Structure 1
Amino acid sequence: MLPASIQITGEQLSAAEVQDICESLKEDGVRLLSVRGCQLSDRDFGRLNLNLGVVSGAGRARHLADALKTNRSLQTLFLHGNPLCDAGLVALNAALSTHPALVSLDLGDGSLGDRALGLVCGLLPPDGAKSGLRELTLSANPGISSKGWARLAIAVAHSSQLRVLNLDYNPLGDQIAGMLAVAVASSRTLEVLDLEGTGLTNQSAQVFLDMVENYPTCLRVLVLAENDISPELQQQICDLLSDDEPGPASTLNVSFFNPTDSSPQMVLLTSGLGESLLAETEM
Structure 2
Amino acid sequence: MGSAETLNVIRRTFTKMLPGSIQITGEALSGAEIKDICDSLKENSVRLLSVRGCQLSDRDFGRVCRGVAESHTLVQLNLNLGVVSTINRTKQLADALKTNRSIQTLFLHGSPLLDAGLVTLNTALSTHPSLVSLDLGDCMLGDEALRLICGMLPPDGAKSAFPTGLRELTLSANPSITTKGWARLAIAVAHSSQLRVLNLDYNPLGDQIAGMLAVAVASSRTLEVLDLEGTGLTNQSAQVFLDMVENYPTCLRVLVLAENAISPELQQQISDLLSEGEEEDEKEGEARGSERTPGREKTTWVPHSNSHSQMVLLTSGLGESLLAETEM
Q: Distance in 2 between matches of 1:78 and 1:234?
A: 30
Q: Distance in 2 between matches of 1:244 and 1:189?
A: 14
TM-score when scaled to structure 1?
0.87
Aligned residue in 2 for 1:134: 167
Deviation string for 1:236-260 (max 9, x for gaps)? 111110003359xxxx8333437xx
Structure 1 residue 28: Cα displacement: 1.3
2:204 matched to 1:171?
A: yes
1:193-208 correspondence to structure 2 within 5 Å: 193-208=226-241
2:290 matched to 1:257?
A: no
Larger C-alpha radius of gyration, 1 or 2?
2
TM-score when scaled to structure 2?
0.76
Q: Distance in 1 between matches of 2:263 and 2:24?
A: 42
What is the CA RMSD across the aligned residues, in angstroms?
A: 2.0
Question: Which amino acid in structure 1 is aligned with residue 129 of structure 2?
Answer: P
Aligned residue in 2 for 1:152: 185
| Larger relative contact order (CA 8 Å, sep ≥ 6) | 1
Structure 1 residue 123: Cα displacement: 0.5
Contact 1:32–1:265 (CA<8 Å) still a contact in 2?
Answer: no
Aligned residue in 1 for 2:45: 29
Contact 2:315–2:322 (CA<8 Å) still a contact in 1?
Answer: no
Helix, strand or coil at the partner of 1:119: helix
Distance 1:170-1:19 versus aligned 2 partners, 3 A rule: same
2:267 matched to 1:234?
A: yes
Q: Distance in 1 between matches of 2:21 and 2:137?
A: 23
Aligned residue in 1 for 2:58: 42
1:179-194 correspondence to structure 2 within 5 Å: 179-194=212-227
Q: Which runs of 5+ in 1 are unaligned?
A: 267-276
Aligned residue in 2 for 1:58: 87
Give the count of matched residue pairs: 261
Which structure has greater strand proportion? Answer: 1
Contact 2:133–2:166 (CA<8 Å) still a contact in 1?
Answer: yes
Contact 1:118–1:148 (CA<8 Å) still a contact in 2?
Answer: yes
Distance 1:161-1:213 versus aligned 2 partners, 3 A rule: same
1:85-104 correspondence to structure 2 within 5 Å: 85-104=114-133
Please identify runs of 4+ aligned residues in structure 1 that moved more than 6 A.
263-266
Q: Identity percentage over the alignment?
A: 79
